[in-house]
């Protein structure tokens, strides 16, 4: 608890003092973040040797400060503290000489500390307060350049959507008290299964609680149709983008995984996660292909990745969702912090020749090769037809991604030697995927709900539809070079590059809300 509180304590430092001592203040903050990272590493070591920890720091009736530290908390604490240390160290030079550097560093510390507090929270009230604090401190960072109309509009749009998410969690607090009479996670998890077995009103209240939690998570993670704020926040400094896309945006997924013992018992909540997540992943992936800005393309990539993580949670693959969260966070932080070097990198890199549209037989061949690799290596790690529909669906999606990788390697040169290397790379990728999945399953076995819910015929139909949609996107990507020359392809490109105008609609609604608020003043 000391690490998060130390970073949040930077809130007490006046802006004038921080700005006047900008460079020295930034160095102090960077060293503080490194110290917090070292504490996170010690906490991880303690978790591996001493087991999970649930501590009541301060208790006053139903309100208290509780720490709930298990393997999930340890992984997330280490991840966020590492990202915070990297981003703060990067910011020391990035904003060197800026008269507002101190204020920026201050709010960056408070935001990181709020996320760390959220991770170790031991009760839903403390979790909600940290959730709101994260959003409000991020708002200060998004408003760092208030004279930029685009930055101001994006921050206001994010502010409205975040308040909807806060309302969902506030309502969840009320329903939680109605169901359990406590906000402590340990008490909630212990009582959830018994209340669900009772049926009747208890099961109905639990289902309503799960839906509220899922709604809050979807709003926090920029899921369709509340996604357009994320690509519009690109006018904020790069360190904010890195922390936001690599850490803060994952709060919705962490909420679902942390409260999986509650949510896993609600088919309605799981189906909502799967459907909204799958559609968001596919929708954002298509738009990402049409973006000409590196940062906007990365932003739509984040939306798609968050959608896929929600799909994983909706299918009950919570350990795989945590693996996805960790991998995506590290990749996206690196991508944003190096985005300024992309021009010089592209000049010195090898550029493949222009690819034609994929011949159907070549695409079928790469798909067959990917299927063989996935089935053979997956079988070695325990994948079978009895693994459950969710696991098989995710395996099918991985197979299609592997097919696209193999097709890219073949289409770039049409050399049999490169295709052979591609098969070796594909085999290595499949082995790493299934091995890491097994490792995270083992690590998180005591922290996460084991979920393989019974599926109705309708739900299996929905899962089949999701699989077909992913297949359609694979074909679209492979055939895009040929279709882009057609009239229909050019028209689709124009509309997709604008996000099908959902962002424009959201901007108008935001302007209308704030115009009315200004009018009342």
* Cα dist from 493 to 210, 291, 389, whole Å: 38, 10, 34
- Which residues make Cβ contacts (< 8 Å) with residue 232, sequence separation at least 6? 150, 153, 154, 157, 503, 507
Question: 121 in helix, strand or coil?
Answer: strand
pLDDT of residue 348: 46
Q: What is the pLDDT, as a whole number, of residue 415?
A: 63
Question: Distances in Å between the alpha carbon of 87 and those of 47, 72, 108?
Answer: 26, 22, 9
CA dihedral 337, 286, 270, 184 (to 10 degrees): 20
Compute the distance between CA of residue 191 and CA of residue 261 in angstroms, rounded to an integer.
10
Confidence bin at 350 (pLDDT 50/70/90)? very low
DSSP collapsed to 3 states, 151-204: HHHHHHHHHHHHHHHHHHHHHHHHHHHHHHCCCEHHHHHHHHHHHHHHCHHHHH
- Cβ(492)–Cβ(476) under 8 Å? no
DSSP state of 224: T
Dihedral class, residue 55 (left if φ above 0, else alpha if ψ from -120 to 50, else beta): beta
Nearest Cα to Cα of residue 112 among 92, 85, 94, 89:
85
Identify the pLDDT of residue 387.
Answer: 64
Residue 229: name the closest of 128, 290, 140, 160 by CA.
160
* pLDDT above 60 for 485: yes
* Residue 374 pLDDT > 70: yes
Per-residue pLDDT for 475 more than 80?
no
Give percent of the chain with pLDDT exceeding 90.
Answer: 31
Closest CA to 134 of 175, 96, 80: 80
pLDDT in tens, 137-147: 999 999 988 88
Q: Work out the average pLDDT over 342-369.
A: 61
Nearest CA to 189 out of 254, 120, 128, 258 is that of 258
Count, in order, helices (H) and strands (E) of the chain.
Answer: 22, 2
Least confident of 415-419, 470-474, 513-517: 415-419
3-state SS, residue 123: strand
Q: Which pLDDT belongs to residue 307? A: 92
Average pLDDT over residues 237-251: 88
Residue 114 has pLDDT above 90, yes or no: yes
DSSP per-residue letters across 21-89: THHHHHHHHHHHHHHHHHHHHHHHHHHHHH--EEEEEEEETTEEEEEEE-HHHHHHHHHHHHHHHHHHH
Question: CA-CA distance, 419 to 360, in Å (whole number)?
Answer: 17
- Closest residue by Cα to residue 335 from 300, 379, 286, 381: 300
163: confidence class by pLDDT, cuts 50, 70, 90: very high
pTM for the model: 0.89
Residue 282 CA, distance from chain mean position: 15
Which of 444, 442, 336 lies closest to 76 in space, CA to CA?
444
């Amino acid at each position: 608890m000391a690490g998060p509180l130390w970073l949040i304590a930077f809130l007490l430092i006046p802006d004038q003092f921080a700005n006047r001592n900008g460079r020295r203040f930034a160095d102090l903050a960077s060293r503080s973040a490194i110290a917090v990272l070292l504490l996170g590493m010690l906490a991880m070591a303690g978790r591996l040797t001493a087991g999970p920890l649930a501590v009541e720091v301060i208790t006053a009736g139903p309100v208290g400060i509780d720490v709930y530290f298990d393997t999930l908390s340890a992984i997330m604490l280490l991840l966020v503290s590492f990202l915070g240390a990297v981003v703060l160290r990067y910011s020391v030079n990035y904003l060197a000489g800026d008269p507002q550097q101190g204020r920026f560093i201050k709010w960056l510390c408070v935001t990181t500390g709020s996320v760390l507090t959220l991770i170790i929270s031991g009760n839903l009230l403390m979790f909600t307060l940290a959730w709101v604090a994260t959003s409000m401190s991020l708002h200060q960072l998004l408003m760092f350049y208030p004279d930029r109309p685009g930055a101001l509009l994006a921050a206001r749009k994010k502010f409205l959507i975040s308040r909807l998410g806060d309302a969902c969690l506030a309502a969840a607090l009320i329903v939680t008290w109605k169901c359990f009479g406590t906000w402590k996670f340990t008490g909630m998890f212990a009582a959830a299964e018994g209340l669900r077995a009772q049926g009747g009103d208890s099961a109905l209240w639990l289902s309503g609680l799960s839906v509220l939690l899922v709604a809050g998570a979807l709003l926090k993670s920029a899921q369709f149709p509340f996604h357009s704020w994320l690509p519009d926040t690109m006018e904020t400094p790069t360190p904010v983008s890195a922390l936001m896309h690599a850490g803060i945006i994952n709060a919705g997924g962490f909420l679902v995984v942390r409260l999986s013992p509650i949510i896993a018992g609600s088919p309605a909540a799981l189906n909502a996660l799967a459907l909204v997540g799958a559609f968001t992943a596919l929708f954002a992936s298509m738009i990402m292909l049409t973006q000409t800005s590196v940062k906007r393309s990365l932003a739509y990539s984040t939306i798609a990745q968050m959608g896929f993580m929600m799909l994983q949670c909706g299918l009950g693959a919570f350990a795989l969702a945590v693996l996805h969260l960790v991998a995506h966070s590290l990749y996206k932080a690196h991508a944003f912090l190096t985005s300024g070097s992309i021009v010089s990198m592209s000049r010195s890199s090898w550029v493949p020749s222009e690819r034609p549209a994929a011949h159907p037989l070549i695409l079928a061949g790469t798909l067959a090769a990917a299927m063989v690799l996935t089935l053979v290596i997956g079988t070695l790690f325990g994948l079978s037809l009895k693994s459950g529909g969710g696991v098989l669906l995710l395996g099918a999606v991985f197979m299609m991604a592997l097919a696209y990788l193999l097709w890219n390697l073949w289409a770039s040169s049409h050399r049999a030697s490169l295709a052979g290397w591609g098969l070796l790379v594909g085999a290595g990728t499949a082995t790493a995927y299934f091995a890491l999945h097994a490792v995270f399953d083992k690590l998180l076995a005591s922290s996460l709900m084991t979920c393989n819910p019974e599926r109705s015929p309708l739900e299996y139909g929905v899962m089949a539809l999701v699989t077909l949609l992913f297949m359609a996107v694979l074909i679209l990507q492979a055939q895009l070079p040929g279709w882009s020359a057609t009239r229909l392809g050019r028209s689709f490109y124009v509309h997709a590059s604008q996000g099908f105008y959902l962002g424009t609609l959201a901007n108008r609604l935001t302007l209308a809300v704030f115009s009315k608020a200004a009018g009342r003043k």
